[in-house]
């Protein structure tokens, strides 16, 4: 018997699992209500959320590290729903210019959405 060279990926990466449980419809409602995608042609609010989560789970310290890490994945970003990694300048501009109110409100929407699963003990 020779070495098996076929890769069999079982399951999904943990980041994809987390993204799958996020209530996208609530996020989209907030985007429309706040108009946070109004002046953006390619780098939308959802993409920014994915990039920020990638940076957190990858323990990146700068937007350059985040974008370089995503670029290193190459074509494997499709599991996150992205075709390619954003340019450092695009991600940095969005991080600086997009109002953080969207992400603040989404945080509270997540708490409300997952409140039946959260522990009330201290």
Tens of pLDDT, residues 22-41: 999 999 999 999 999 988 88
pTM to 2 decimal places: 0.82
The torsion angle over the Cα atoms of residues 92, 32, 13 and 67, rounded to 10 degrees, is -10
**At which residue do the structure tokens 């499709």 appear?**
78
Instruction: Count up the domains in the chain and report the number.
Output: 1
Tokens of 88: 């450092």
Say if residues 58 and 66 touch (Cβ distance below 8 Å): yes
Residue 4 in domain: no
Is 61 within the bounds of a domain?
yes
Containing structural domain, residue 48: 14-33+43-111
Does the residue 122 lie in any domain? no
| pLDDT tens digit sequence for 43-61 | 999 999 999 999 998 899 9
Burial of 42 (0-12, 13-18, 19+ CB in 10 A): exposed
Phi first, then psi: what are they for 95, rounded to 5°?
A: -65, -35
Residue 74 counted as domain residue: yes
| Greatest CA separation for the chain | 60
CB 19 within 8 A of CB 53: yes
Q: How far apart are CA 63 and CA 51, in angstroms?
A: 9
Report if residue 49 sits inside a domain: yes
């Amino acid at each position: 018997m020779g070495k098996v060279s076929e890769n069999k990926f079982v399951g999904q990466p943990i980041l994809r699992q987390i993204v799958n449980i996020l209530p996208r419809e609530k996020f989209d409602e907030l985007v429309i209500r706040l108009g946070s995608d109004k002046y953006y042609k390619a780098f939308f609010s959802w993409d920014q959320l994915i990039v920020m989560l990638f940076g957190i789970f990858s323990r990146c310290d700068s937007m350059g590290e985040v974008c370089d890490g995503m670029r290193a994945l190459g074509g494997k970003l499709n599991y996150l729903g992205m075709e390619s990694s954003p340019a450092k300048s695009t991600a940095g501009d969005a991080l600086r210019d997009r109002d953080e109110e969207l992400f603040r409100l989404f945080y509270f929407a997540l708490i409300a959405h997952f409140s039946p699963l959260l522990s009330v003990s201290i």
